[in-house]
Every structure is written in structure tokens, then in C-alpha cells.
């Protein structure tokens, strides 16, 4: 044997070893589809011995029924037409009838005259890839279902929101009209009570005078209640402008000056911000909070009230603190409900003030809450959003 021939055989042996030891399956099929060569990886993948496979079976014999149909209608025609086909997903059936997910590439070899000689086919195990694809498909389907659910929910929320908006508008209109309509007869009753008192003059006995006084007081209380209801119905978006809360607090202190004097109250006001808000509603809000601090003061000690502002991220935190009577925190949610009052009739009020405060703050995109200790005092907090906070 010549040295040249020996080197050729050594090279062929190395090629055969590389072919057999490759980490993927290799097979070759003749033009009729019969397997004429297979490497060790392919035999191990399916569990066949070479003598059972080579020269006996076609690639189609190793496919599932669905795979055979697809091979006949798509795989082989594409291979014949283009001379190659890549990354075709097939499930192969092993000798033990187990199903193995694979990806197959095929190249058709022809001679110089274009005659079909054989096909070279590589087979990659794709179990993990198939599982991953199935997980992705499942995730996509779930995402599509979630998107569809979200779309339906969004549509339903939009319809509900439109209905609520309309209901709120109608309720506001009803409250406004009802409040005005109630004011007229109350004024008439109050006027007749005054006229009757004047008409009877000194001839009126003590019991009748008491009755007329009670009638006048209840009428006045009802008028206050109706007026508060009217104010509550008007709370909404309002007219927004740059509002100096320091100036608002000054105006409020003028309005409650008599109560401040009566209580000998010491009121400390910190530096207040300018915010984008409805000035009338801000006045209502702070007048109620400061007014409540005066109304529910502890008469056994000097009254002290503090109004402060603190800048946060995109908002201001406003606090109104007092050293008054305080209340039990178990009832903190009740104080913001219309007509709910924690104290008796000895302290005047309609129970609407804090409900209106809450509505004003929420209309401005903020939040109102309270902290209190019975016998120590209370602190009311509210936030008001403002994208460009300015002192």
C-alpha cells in the first residue's frame, strides 16, 4: 500500500468517526426515500439497530401519521423543487413507540446532469425547544385572552363610568333644585313666626313664646341644613386658577374672627403654597376644618390651632392641627359621612361639613384623612396635586 493510499484511508476513517460521533442525527436516503446510511446518534435517538433501519425503512416510516401527510404534501415537493428545506418540525416515532420532537434539515444531491442521487438529512432533538414554543404559545394565548378580558372590562367600566357621571349630574341637579324649593317654605314659616311674635307682643304667654322660639330655631337649623346641602351639591371640578392658600387662610380667619375671639384661640399659620384650585372651594374646605377646630375645642385649656404645609413629590400636604376634644379613632370613617355626628346636639352642626371637605379634596385629585386622640386633639390632613408646586 502506497503512502498516498494510506493517508486517503486515514482521512476517510476520520470522516466516518466524525460522522458517527456527531451530536446530531445524520441519515442519507435514496431517491425512493429508503435510508441508505445512518450515524450512531440517529440510531440511539430512535433506539434502532443499523441492520433494522438501513436498507429497510424510509423516513416516512418513522413519522407520525400527521407527519407522513405533511411530508408527502409539503416536505418532499419543497425538497424536489428547491433542492433543500430547513428547520421542519417533525415528531419521529422511536422503536419503543415513543414520540420524539425533532427539527429536520434536508439537502438533495444531484449529478452533473441533474439526476437525483441521494438526500442528506440532519435531525436535531427539539424536545426542549418544542416545550418552550408550547409555553410561549400558551402564554400568548393567555395574553390574548387577558387582553380581550381587559378590553371588555375597560368597555364595561367606560359604560358604568358614563352612567355614574350621568347619575351624579342628575343627583346634583336634583339636590340643587330641591334645596332651592325647600328654602322658600322655610322662609315663609320663619317670617310668620316672627310676625306672630310681633303681633302678640307682650300679650303672649310663656308657653307660646317658647313654642315660637323653638319654631324659629328649628326653621333656622333647617335653613342651615338646606344651605349646606346646596353647597355640597355644587362641589365639582369648579373653576381652577392659581390660588394662594395663605391668602385663603387669612380670609377664613376674618370669617371666623368672632369665634377666634370667643375661644381666645392661638392660631399659628405656616408658609402656605400657591396651588391650582377653585378658590371658593378651598375657602369652604379650610373654613370647615378651622371652624371645627374652634367648635370642638377643649374649654379646660387654652385653644391652639396650627395650619401647616409640606411639599411632596408633585403634591402639597396641608395639615390643620388642634388640641381640642379629639375623638375615638374607631369612628374615624363615620366623620366623613353626611349627617354622621359623634357629638350631641349641645354642639351645633349639620354633619355635612366634613363630607363636603372630602368631596372638595377628591374633586381636586387629593385625599383627606384624620388622626385623633380622645381628650388630646385632632389633626386633619389633605393633599392637593400640583405638577409645578410653587411657594
Mean pLDDT taken over the chain: 82
Phi, psi at 114, each rounded to 5°: 85, 10
Rounded mean pLDDT, 236-240: 65
CB atoms within 10 A of CB 325: 20
CA–CA separation, 336 and 15 (whole Å): 87
Residue ranges per structural domain of the chain: 3-125, 137-234, 237-385
Structure confidence by residue, pLDDT tens digits, 63-93: 999 989 988 999 889 888 898 999 888 999 9
332 pLDDT band (50/70/90 cuts)? Answer: confident
How far apart, in whole angstroms, are the C-alpha atoms of residue 250 and residue 270?
12
User: What secondary structure letter does DSSP report for 64?
Assistant: -
User: Between β-strands 304-312 and 274-277, what pairing exists: parallel, antiparallel or unpaired?
Assistant: unpaired
Confidence of residue 174 (pLDDT cuts 50, 70, 90): low
**Which residues make Cβ contacts (< 8 Å) with residue 288, sequence separation at least 6?**
353, 354, 356, 357
Which pLDDT band, with edges at 50, 70 and 90, does 342 fall under?
low
Of 63, 12, 65, 8, the closest CA to residue 33 belongs to 63
Same fold, 3-125 and 137-234: no
Homologous superfamily, domain 3-125? PAS domain (3.30.450.20)
Give mean pLDDT, residues 232-253.
80
DSSP 129: H
> In this predicted structure, what is the pLDDT of residue 350?
60
CATH topology of domain 137-234: Helix Hairpins (1.10.287)
What is the per-residue pLDDT across 267-288, written as a single tens digit (0 to 9) for each?
999 999 999 888 888 988 999 8
Rounded Cα gap, residues 339 and 327, in angstroms:
17
- If pLDDT is split at 50, 70 and 90, which confidence band does 306 have? very high
391: pLDDT confidence band, cut at 50, 70 and 90?
very low
Burial class from Cβ neighbours inside 10 Å (0-12, 13-18, 19+) for residue 127 reads exposed
- What is the pLDDT at residue 214? 79
Length reported for the chain: 391
Q: What is the pLDDT of residue 180?
A: 65
At residue 390, the pLDDT reads 43
Residue 9, pLDDT above cutoff 50: no
**pTM higher than the cut 0.85:** no
CA distance 320 to 112: 97
pLDDT at 356: 84
Q: Would you state the cell numbers that stand for residue 188, as one nine-digit string? A: 315663609
Over residues 256-262, mean pLDDT: 90
Across the range 204-222, mean pLDDT stands at: 76
Q: What is the 3-state secondary structure (H, E, C) of 298-335?
A: CCCCCCEEEEEEEEECCEEEEEEEECCCCCCHHHCCHH
Q: Is the pLDDT of residue 205 over 70?
A: yes
Mention every residue, 6+ apart, whose C-beta is less than 8 A from residue 102.
25, 45, 89, 90, 91, 92, 123, 124, 125, 126
Q: Which of 382, 379, 345 is nearest to 245 (CA)?
A: 382
Architecture of domain 237-385: 2-Layer Sandwich (3.30)
360 within 8 A of 287, measured Cβ to Cβ: no
Distance from C-alpha of 217 to C-alpha of 40, rounded to nearest angstrom: 106
> What is the band of 389 on the pLDDT scale with cuts at 50, 70, 90?
very low
- N-term to C-term CA, the chain: 102
Amino acid at each position: 500500500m502506497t503512502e498516498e493510499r494510506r493517508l486517503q484511508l486515514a482521512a476517510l476513517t476520520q470522516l466516518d468517526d466524525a460522522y458517527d460521533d456527531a451530536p446530531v442525527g445524520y441519515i442519507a436516503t435514496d431517491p425512493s426515500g429508503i435510508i441508505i446510511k445512518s450515524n450512531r446518534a440517529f440510531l440511539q435517538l430512535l433506539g434502532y439497530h443499523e441492520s433494522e433501519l438501513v436498507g429497510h425503512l424510509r423516513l416516512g416510516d418513522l413519522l407520525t401519521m400527521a407527519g407522513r401527510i405533511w411530508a408527502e404534501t409539503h416536505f418532499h415537493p419543497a425538497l424536489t423543487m428547491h433542492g433543500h428545506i430547513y428547520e421542519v418540525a417533525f415528531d419521529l416515532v422511536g422503536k419503543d413507540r415513543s414520540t420524539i420532537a425533532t427539527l429536520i434539515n434536508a439537502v438533495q444531491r444531484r449529478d452533473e446532469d441533474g439526476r437525483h442521487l441521494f438526500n442528506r438529512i440532519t435531525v436535531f432533538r427539539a424536545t426542549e425547544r418544542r416545550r418552550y414554543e408550547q409555553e410561549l404559545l400558551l402564554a400568548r394565548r393567555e395574553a390574548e385572552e387577558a387582553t380581550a378580558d381587559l378590553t371588555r372590562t375597560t368597555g364595561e367600566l367606560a359604560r358604568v363610568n358614563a352612567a355614574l357621571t350621568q347619575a351624579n349630574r342628575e343627583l346634583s341637579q336634583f339636590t340643587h333644585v330641591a334645596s332651592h324649593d325647600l328654602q322658600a317654605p322655610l322662609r315663609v314659616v320663619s317670617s310668620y313666626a316672627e310676625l306672630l311674635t310681633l303681633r302678640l307682643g307682650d300679650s303672649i304667654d310663656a308657653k307660646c313664646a317658647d313654642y315660637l322660639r323653638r319654631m324659629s330655631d328649628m326653621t333656622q337649623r333647617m335653613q342651615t341644613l338646606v344651605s349646606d346641602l346646596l353647597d355640597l351639591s355644587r362641589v365639582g371640578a369648579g373653576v381652577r386658577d392659581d390660588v394662594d392658600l395663605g391668602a385663603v387662610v387669612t380670609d377664613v380667619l376674618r370669617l371666623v374672627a368672632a369665634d377666634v375671639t370667643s375661644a381666645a384661640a392661638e392660631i399659628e399659620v405656616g408658609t402656605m403654597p400657591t396651588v391650582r384650585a377653585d378658590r371658593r372651594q378651598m375657602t369652604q374646605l379650610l373654613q370647615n376644618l378651622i371652624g371645627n377646630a374652634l367648635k370642638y375645642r377643649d374649654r379646660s385649656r387654652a385653644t391652639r390651632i396650627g395650619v401647616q404645609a409640606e411639599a411632596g413629590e408633585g403634591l402639597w400636604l396641608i395639615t390643620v392641627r388642634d388640641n381640642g376634644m379629639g375623638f375615638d379613632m374607631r369612628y374615624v370613617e363615620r366623620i366623613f359621612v353626611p349627617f354622621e355626628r359623634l357629638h350631641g346636639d349641645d354642639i351645633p352642626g349639620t354633619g355635612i361639613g366634613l363630607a363636603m371637605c372630602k368631596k372638595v379634596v377628591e374633586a381636586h385629585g387629593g385625599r383627606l384623612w384624620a388622626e385623633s386622640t380622645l381628650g388630646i386633639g385632632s389633626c386633619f390632613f389633605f393633599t392637593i396635586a400640583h405638577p409645578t408646586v410653587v411657594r
